[in-house]
Chains A and B, each alone.
Chain A
Amino acid sequence: MNEITRSQLAAMLLITDAFALFCFTGSISLMTVAGLSAGILLQMALAVPLIKLGGIKVRAAYFFYLIYLIMWGGLLLEMQWKTSKHIYIPYENSAGIWGKLLISGLIAAVCLYISSAGIKAMGRASVIAAFIGAICLLIAAVSGISHLDPENFSRAESGRTLTEELITGFAVSGGTGSLAILLGITKGRSLKNVSLYFIGKGILTAAVTLTAVSVAGGIMEITDFPVVTAAQVSQPFSSQRIDSLFLIVFAIFAVFSIAVQTAASAYVLGELFPKFVRFRSSVSLLLIIGAAFLLWKIPLNSGIIGIGAIIALFVIPFIVLIFKSLGMRKGRVQ
């Protein structure tokens, strides 16, 4: 049985969320931190129908999730493309189109290998990858705190209201589609499984955004990717820089976050078309690459993506739950 554990589910989803935060465009302020945190609380509340269902296992709903997972995977791939020019990837032509294509191609190839190894193997690897990433992020956070300038908190302004930040919070939570699908193959009680993920997400979001504000608050207006800039600016040592270490975390998280979408959509493809056994991961990845071209102009934290996340997390599970309870009642009457 291709079942995963609670920690594996949380690790896979947290890596996706962390990567979405790395690719966050626009300014981050304390309002953003509050909006994203409130968004996570709201998401947890909206996840109640999903928790009751124990994951999506309905054929009709699978079509929506397949499209959603492919779109989100495409967005992540697109964001990797856009962010990579801000992270020094050492290849002679890495700044040019061919260099970028090669880098994205390499990431896609590794994603294909990872997703074809199966969700179980990917889940196990995600736990280790998340642990390594957490250590690297902790170093960045500690060095950020050691150079803390309290004025940065007041200097940083996002120019968005709390409601807008709340929607932004949903927009960078594209992992809700994978949550709905992967929850169905996770061992243990759904409430515990989902709670662990959301608690982890809360801590991760708060740590990353607060570090970004504390380190890059003063230069927020001139930064395209505040989290990347924060990682580059925060240095724990006086005589040497460590921003290349962020490259490791970025590469690992990019690969795993896209691989999670690929593996989850390959799983959905398998559920929809049971006879389609071979090349499911390859087809999923190709669709994700196609989606990346299609969604080229859409920024990661746009409202439309936020709506998609709400539909994946709440609307579809709620409808499925209603249909399920109606069906059960009908069965009882008969």
Chain B
Amino acid sequence: MEELKIIPDLKQNIKKIRELSGNSSDILVNEFYAGGIHCALLCCEGMLSVSIITELVLEPITHIPQKNDIHELFRHIQDRLLLSTDRPTAEDYNTLFRLLHSGFAVLLGDGIDKALAFGVQGYFSRGIQEPSGEGNIMGAHEGFIENVRTNMSQIRRRLKTPDLVMELFVRGEKSKTDMCLCYMKDRVPAKLMEKIRSSLDDIELESILSTGYIQPFVESNRFELFSSTGTTERPDVLCSRLIEGRVAILIDGVPFAVVIPKLFCESFQTLDDYSFKPYYSTFIRWIKYGAFIISILLPAVYAAIVMYHPELLNSTLLMLLVESEKKAPLSIVTEVTGVLLMYEIIREAGIRLPKPVGGAVSIVSGLIIGDAAVNSGLISTPLLTITALAVISGYVVPELNAPMTVLRFAFLLAAGIFGLFGISLLACAVLVNICATEDYGFPYTAPLSPFSKRGLSDTAVRTGMKKMQKRGFTVEEYHE
């Protein structure tokens, strides 16, 4: 279809369009005379605003005085009438259909091999709402929505500088998804942009329906436990990332933006950190670091200590655990694995089920199953407490929840077989995997390793805004 040029004969042209679209019911063709010349206005049902097209296109176009030929008519429309702000032209059917399916009204004329398009999009989309996954107390309560252009405007509203560049492009053989590459041209090196564009050129997918479709193309090919590209549904967070010299990709139909590159420490930073006093933000940040470790290692360390290294416990705690565990019929590893698996099943059910039923699932699982399991002696109380604490800690850093869940099981297995020795070996492998994570020369573990003293001012602690202002940080500092 790419090579197919628009046929100058209107009747043939409409026939061809109907043929190419498979006589699709949502393609509306309105034939009429403008300036005494046979024309047709094509649009896609439900994709445009009826009031806008009536007022801004149909009304002026039908009042055009008599013209000698179609070329004069099209010249008149292009030069004398400002029917919409976005007025591309199409010379082939590929472009024509892309515009048509994006909500443009397309004008065809008898005797001309091109089409005029008018941006009169007006499809229904969700209004701007508070992000569901990135809670915030003090910051803005606006999140991205599914419309890429609305998302672009949300960023532009916050960064009114000409240095902010937004490049629209299309990917997806069938979906023709609009995507937008956002970056600050004074902060991102041209070479990096070239590399990212080249990675995006490799996308030959038929459709792009979520951020997960494009992330593998901008990430390294090696196996990485943690993703080296981030996602955010908050325009304010994205703006802060752009100012730090990162690149963002917006995808039409997806209320998330992909951020390149992402650092490990960023998962522990929230916008609220910069709203509270530095000492409190630092405290909360360390709570999050602790929660991350607890979430992955607590069940494994518990199993290792109780099974192999009881000398690490003081006598009171040891006696307490012995007392509670001697009633449990299953081994500790089986118990912990069972509880963790049960939780994962309940969580998955809670997410997939309709919300009212999801609530009922939580009650049944939390109160009935949990209570019954402890009362019946199947699971010991300390073990359930440990597991619950690990799982809840995982939600402190929601971005890393997926790898944390898998690692929790892996460490538990290692601890069950080899105790602390197994945990140490697996920790080495995981540590190296994290340290090997790197995209476009930005190490994921910066500023911890490679070590940057300056970088610690917003990781180990959160320094005051005045000091941060002087620091003028861009992610390029970490580039290797």
Report B-chain residues with C-beta under 8 Å of the C-beta of A117: 432-433, 435-436
Report which of A127, A239, A241, A256 forms a contact with B428, defined as CB distance below 8 A.
A256
- A66–chain B nearest beta-carbon distance, Å: 23
- B432–chain A nearest beta-carbon distance, Å: 5
Report B-chain residues with C-beta under 8 Å of the C-beta of A129: 428, 431
Q: In this assembly, does A124 line the interface, its C-beta being within 8 Å of a C-beta of chain B? A: yes
Report B-chain residues with C-beta under 8 Å of the C-beta of A89: 418-419, 421
- B403–chain A nearest beta-carbon distance, Å: 17
Interface contact A113-B432, CB-CB below 8 Å: yes
Q: How far is the CA of A183 from the CA of B431 in the complex (A)?
A: 23
Q: How far is the CA of A255 from the CA of B443 in the complex (A)?
A: 22
Q: Which one of B309, B314, B448 has the highest number of Cβ atoms from chain A below 10 Å of its Cβ?
A: B309
Q: In this assembly, does A110 line the interface, its C-beta being within 8 Å of a C-beta of chain B? A: yes
In residues 415-442 of chain B, which contact A (Cβ within 8 Å)? 417-421, 423-425, 427-429, 431-436, 438
Report A-chain residues with C-beta under 8 Å of the C-beta of B427: 252
Q: In this assembly, does B313 line the interface, its C-beta being within 8 Å of a C-beta of chain A? A: yes
Q: In this assembly, does A172 line the interface, its C-beta being within 8 Å of a C-beta of chain B? A: no
In residues 242-273 of chain A, which contact B (Cβ within 8 Å)? 242-245, 247-248, 251-252, 255-256
Q: How far is the CA of A118 from the CA of B437 in the complex (A)?
A: 11
Q: Which one of A7, A245, A247 has the highest number of Cβ atoms from chain B below 10 Å of its Cβ?
A: A247
Interface contact B308-A90, CB-CB below 8 Å: yes
Report which of A90, A114, A120, A127 forms a contact with B421, defined as CB distance below 8 A.
A90
Q: How far is the CA of A289 from the CA of B419 in the complex (A)?
A: 25
Q: How far is the CA of A244 from the CA of B448 in the complex (A)?
A: 27
B436 nearest CB neighbor, chain A only: A121
Report which of B417, B433, B436, B448 forms a contact with A91, defined as CB distance below 8 A.
B417
Report B-chain residues with C-beta under 8 Å of the C-beta of A103: 421
Main secondary structure of the interface of B (DSSP, over half): helix
Q: In this assembly, does A199 line the interface, its C-beta being within 8 Å of a C-beta of chain B? A: no
Q: How far is the CA of A103 from the CA of B419 in the complex (A)?
A: 12
Interface string of A120-150 (1 = CB under 8 A from B): 1110110111000000000000000000000
Report A-chain residues with C-beta under 8 Å of the C-beta of B312: 240-242, 244-245
Interface contact A110-B429, CB-CB below 8 Å: yes
Report B-chain residues with C-beta under 8 Å of the C-beta of A237: 314
Given the known interface contacts A124-B445, A128-B449, the answer about A106 and B420 at a Cβ–Cβ threshold of 8 Å is no
Q: How far is the CA of A240 from the CA of B318 in the complex (A)?
A: 10
Interface string of B285-327 (1 = CB under 8 A from A): 0000000000000000000100111011111000000000000
Q: In this assembly, does A231 line the interface, its C-beta being within 8 Å of a C-beta of chain B? A: no
Q: In this assembly, does A32 line the interface, its C-beta being within 8 Å of a C-beta of chain B? A: no
Report A-chain residues with C-beta under 8 Å of the C-beta of B438: 121
- A217–chain B nearest beta-carbon distance, Å: 24
Q: In this assembly, does A107 line the interface, its C-beta being within 8 Å of a C-beta of chain B? A: yes
Q: Count of A-B contacts with CB under 8 A? A: 106
Q: In this assembly, does A195 line the interface, its C-beta being within 8 Å of a C-beta of chain B? A: no
Q: In this assembly, does B451 line the interface, its C-beta being within 8 Å of a C-beta of chain A? A: yes
Interface string of B377-417 (1 = CB under 8 A from A): 00000000000000000000000000000000000000001
Report which of B313, B434, B436, B450 forms a contact with A5, defined as CB distance below 8 A.
B450
Q: How far is the CA of A256 from the CA of B431 in the complex (A)?
A: 11
Q: In this assembly, does A27 line the interface, its C-beta being within 8 Å of a C-beta of chain B? A: no
Main secondary structure of the interface of A (DSSP, over half): helix
Interface contact B420-A124, CB-CB below 8 Å: no
Report which of B307, B315, B425, B445 forms a contact with A239, defined as CB distance below 8 A.
B315
Q: In this assembly, does A190 line the interface, its C-beta being within 8 Å of a C-beta of chain B? A: no
In residues 313-351 of chain B, which contact A (Cβ within 8 Å)? 313-315
- A133–chain B nearest beta-carbon distance, Å: 11
Interface contact A244-B417, CB-CB below 8 Å: no
- A105–chain B nearest beta-carbon distance, Å: 11
Q: In this assembly, does A301 line the interface, its C-beta being within 8 Å of a C-beta of chain B? A: no
Report which of B304, B309, B424, B451 forms a contact with A127, defined as CB distance below 8 A.
B451
Report which of A7, A107, A240, A248 forms a contact with B313, defined as CB distance below 8 A.
A240
Interface contact B435-A124, CB-CB below 8 Å: yes
A127 nearest CB neighbor, chain B only: B449
Q: How far is the CA of A5 from the CA of B453 in the complex (A)?
A: 14
Q: How far is the CA of A169 from the CA of B312 in the complex (A)?
A: 34
Given the known interface contacts A91-B418, A124-B445, A242-B312, the answer about A114 and B425 at a Cβ–Cβ threshold of 8 Å is no
Interface contact A124-B450, CB-CB below 8 Å: yes
Interface contact A128-B420, CB-CB below 8 Å: no
Interface contact A124-B307, CB-CB below 8 Å: no
Report which of B311, B417, B423, B431 forms a contact with A240, defined as CB distance below 8 A.
B311
Report B-chain residues with C-beta under 8 Å of the C-beta of A107: 425
Interface contact B435-A128, CB-CB below 8 Å: yes
- A101–chain B nearest beta-carbon distance, Å: 14
Interface contact B425-A255, CB-CB below 8 Å: yes
Given the known interface contacts A113-B432, A121-B435, A239-B314, the answer about A244 and B309 at a Cβ–Cβ threshold of 8 Å is yes
Given the known interface contacts A110-B428, A240-B313, A255-B425, the answer about A125 and B417 at a Cβ–Cβ threshold of 8 Å is no
Given the known interface contacts A90-B307, A106-B425, A113-B432, the answer about A244 and B451 at a Cβ–Cβ threshold of 8 Å is no
- A329–chain B nearest beta-carbon distance, Å: 38
Interface contact A125-B449, CB-CB below 8 Å: yes
Interface contact A255-B449, CB-CB below 8 Å: no
Q: In this assembly, does A8 line the interface, its C-beta being within 8 Å of a C-beta of chain B? A: yes
Interface residues of B (CB under 8 A from A): 304, 307-309, 311-315, 417-421, 423-425, 427-429, 431-436, 438, 443, 445, 448-451, 480
Interface residues of A (CB under 8 A from B): 3, 5, 7-8, 89-91, 103, 106-107, 110, 113-114, 117-118, 120-122, 124-125, 127-129, 237, 239-245, 247-248, 251-252, 255-256
Given pairs A121-B435, A124-B449, 19 additional interface contacts (CB within 8 A): A3-B480, A5-B450, A8-B449, A89-B419, A91-B417, A113-B429, A120-B480, A121-B436, A124-B435, A124-B436, A125-B431, A127-B450, A240-B312, A241-B311, A244-B311, A251-B420, A251-B425, A252-B424, A256-B428
9 chain-A/chain-B pairs, Cβ below 8 angstroms: A3-B480, A90-B308, A120-B436, A121-B436, A121-B438, A122-B432, A124-B443, A125-B435, A245-B420
Kindly list the 5 A-B residue pairs having the minimum CB-CB distance in the complex, ordered from nearest: A121-B436, A90-B308, A251-B424, A90-B419, A124-B435
